[in-house]
Amino acid sequence: MAALSLAALRSQVESDLRGRVTAPFSYRDRNIFEVAPSGILEIDSSVGGLPRGAMTEICGLPGSGRSSLLVSVLASRTENGEVCALVDARDSFDPQTACAAGVDLRQLLWVRCQNIDQALRATDLLIQSGGFGLVAVDLSDLAPKTVRYVPLNAWFRFRRAVEDTPTVLMILDQEANAKNCASLVLRLDAEAVRWSETVKSADCGTLPFCGKKMDAAAQGYSFARLFEGFSVRTEIIRSRMQSSNGLAPAVAAHG
């Protein structure tokens, strides 16, 4: 009896929304997406890429590799000729670094915001306007408690607006906040930082260091410690994609 009542209710809702909302219950069951490469082999081999017509949420603490992933995705999409939009909630995007990493700035609309309200309004407008291969919303420099107060209906509205479009909607924040509205949720965690040491002398210039510091210092050598990069572990928190398989391999990100 309850099953019949639920079926009747679903039929009534679909009837009431006919002509205004296409297949209001189809999204929940959807698990096959066209995907776009992220530009990072380890992520693409694990989840297949970023789903189009759906929301992907990337979360992680400061220094976890979120910015590196964002730049990689922007580089991959703009190199493919797609027009992308970046909603920058705290005006922290560095276009020079992005350009050096391969982002075609001619294909990027950079929306510079000062707070979360501006960022949410801009996201609404961009998704509704269409025409973007990627809309990235960077909330990662906002205080986590600020993003927690984003109403659930805002995430639901974004999810519904991007559905049945070729757009990849990517949200970056410190915690997972979009709940079930996100079709793919990845959490990034920084692992070991890699350093190298060099030794410098007036005669030989700068060379990789091997040996005892005390002996070399006595001969007038000076030392420098250079940052080579760090590794990031990507964990799949939630996925509606058939290609999901649990934990992704470590992803190398270089600073």
Sign for the CA dihedral angle at 47, 50, 53, 56 comes to positive
Q: Could you please report the per-residue DSSP string of 233-248? A: EEEEEEE-STT--SEE
Residues 167, 52: contact at Cβ < 8 Å? yes
Going by the DSSP 8-state scheme, the letter that residue 203 receives in this structure is: T
Full-model pTM: 0.73
Both tokens of residue 216?
């070399």
Q: What is the pLDDT of residue 179?
A: 86
Mean predicted lDDT score pLDDT of the chain: 80
For 43-96, what is each residue's pLDDT tens digit? 888 888 999 999 999 999 998 889 999 999 999 999 999 999 999 999 999 999
pLDDT beyond 70 at 244: no
**Beta strand 134-138 pairing with 168-173:** parallel
If one compares 98 and 227, the residue with the highest pLDDT of the two is: 98
Taking alpha carbons only, the member of 106, 104, 66, 64 closest to residue 88 is 66
Q: What is the pLDDT of residue 45?
A: 86
Taking alpha carbons only, the member of 133, 129, 178 closest to residue 157 is 178
Sign for the CA dihedral angle at 195, 250, 232, 93 comes to positive
Both tokens of residue 34?
């066209």
For 97-125, what is each residue's pLDDT tens digit? 999 999 999 999 999 999 999 999 999 99
If one compares 255 and 10, the residue with the highest pLDDT of the two is: 10
Residues 78, 108: contact at Cβ < 8 Å? yes
Q: What is the pLDDT of residue 186?
A: 95
- Residue ranges with strand state E in 52-178: 54-60, 84-88, 108-112, 134-138, 168-173
For 138-162, what is each residue's pLDDT tens digit? 999 999 999 999 999 999 999 999 9
Residues 185, 233: contact at Cβ < 8 Å? no
